[in-house]
Amino acid sequence: MFAMRSRAIVVCLFLLSLFTFAQNWKQVHKTDEERWAKATGLDPYTIHKLWRSASKVPDEKDDASRIANIDLDGLAERHDVLLVTYAGEQNCLTLTVFRQFSGNKFNKIWSADRPPDGTGFCDSSFAGAKAEADNGAIMVRVPRSNDNGVVTFAVYTYEWNGITYRLADQKKVQAQ
């Protein structure tokens, strides 16, 4: 009888923690949306719609992805916006480009979550991955190795080819 009560208490605590965790994600996302709205000038509802359009998780209550970057300037020549989200234990990035038609109307036109080698745009134990746009190109910097404090990054550059964004360059760079 004691074992059954103990088990019931453990199950109740587990279910309560799941409910609390789900509620926390909702607040985390709301805080993220407000912060990015302030930084970009877009309204929080538009930020929310962009984040949900970029997400691969059907139910937003289960979505642990976060916004890493919203770049309104680097692709502005084509009226494109880069949204970078991250998720998972290794903070793997997903790049999503939206074409902006008005102040709050955006269409998703391209997305990538891994380079051609299939490894992913993920942080490592020695450095973080980063993505940004500049002069019409998207640059993704991913840590690949650490040799005595010298980190080697794979840098992927994606450019518009008239139809979509495609890998235009890939190189290795070192940084300390």
pTM: 0.84
Q: Record the tokens describing residue 40, joined without a space.
A: 């970009």
pLDDT of residue 14: 44
Please state the separation of Cα 59 from the chain's center in Å: 17
| 75-96 per-position pLDDT tens digit | 999 999 999 999 999 999 999 9
Collapsed DSSP state (helix, strand, coil) of residue 57: coil
Unique residue bearing structure tokens 């760079």? 173
* CA gap 33, 27 in Å, rounded: 10
Q: What is the mean pLDDT of residues 121-142?
A: 97
